[in-house]
Amino acid sequence: MSSVLAWSKSVKLPPGKLSRLDEMERSDRRTFQTLANQIGPVFKGTIDGRFAICVVGNKIARRLLSNHSAALKPVTIDVSRLFPGEFMRGMQGEFHKSQRVALIKGLGTVNMDVLKPSMHQIIREHLEAYCKSKSNPARRYDDFYRWSDTLSVITSSMLIQLVLGAKPGSKLLHDLMRLYRELGPNGVAWNVGDKQVDAYQRISDCLTQSPTIEDAKGLITILSNQGQVDANMLGNLIYMVETGRYDMRGLFRWISKYAADNPIWMTRIRTSEPDQRAVVAKAFVQEVLRLDQSERLMREVLDDIVFEGFLFPKGTLLRVCMWEAHKDEQAFEKPFAFRPERFLSEQTFGEGFSPFGLDQHLCPFAVFSINLASIFLMELASGFEISATGGEPSVRGPYHWEPAPDFSARLTQIKNT
Q: Contact residues for ligand HEM (CB under 6 A)? A: 74, 88-89, 100, 159, 163, 240-241, 244, 247-248, 251, 293-294, 297, 355-357, 361, 363-365, 369
The CB-of-369 to ligand HEM minimum distance in angstroms stands at 4
Phi, psi of 404 (to 5 degrees): -55, 155
Of 264, 280, 284, 262, which is closest to residue 272 (Cα–Cα)? 280
The CB-of-352 to ligand HEM minimum distance in angstroms stands at 15
The CB-of-289 to ligand HEM minimum distance in angstroms stands at 6
- Compare residues 166 and 248 and give the one whose CB is closer to ligand HEM: 248
The CB-of-182 to ligand HEM minimum distance in angstroms stands at 19
- Compare residues 2 and 98 and give the one whose CB is closer to ligand HEM: 98
Question: What's the full length of the chain, in residues?
Answer: 417
Helices (H) and strands (E) in the chain, counts: 16, 11
The CB-of-393 to ligand HEM minimum distance in angstroms stands at 21
Identify the helix (H) or strand (E) that includes residue 202.
helix 194-209
- Compare residues 116 and 139 and give the one whose CB is closer to ligand HEM: 116
- Compare residues 21 and 240 and give the one whose CB is closer to ligand HEM: 240
- Compare residues 245 and 270 and give the one whose CB is closer to ligand HEM: 245
The CB-of-64 to ligand HEM minimum distance in angstroms stands at 13
For residue 303, the Cα-to-chain-centroid distance in whole angstroms is 28
- Compare residues 13 and 237 and give the one whose CB is closer to ligand HEM: 237
The pairs formed by 10-14 with CB atoms below 8 angstroms and a separation of 24 or more are 11/306, 11/309, 11/310, 11/311, 12/309, 12/310, 12/311, 13/44, 13/310, 13/311, 13/313, 14/40, 14/42, 14/43, 14/44, 14/53, 14/310, 14/312
| Omega prior to 335 cis, within 30 of 0 | no
Question: Are 78 and 192 spatial neighbours (Cβ–Cβ below 8 Å)?
Answer: yes
Q: What is the DSSP letter of 303?
A: S
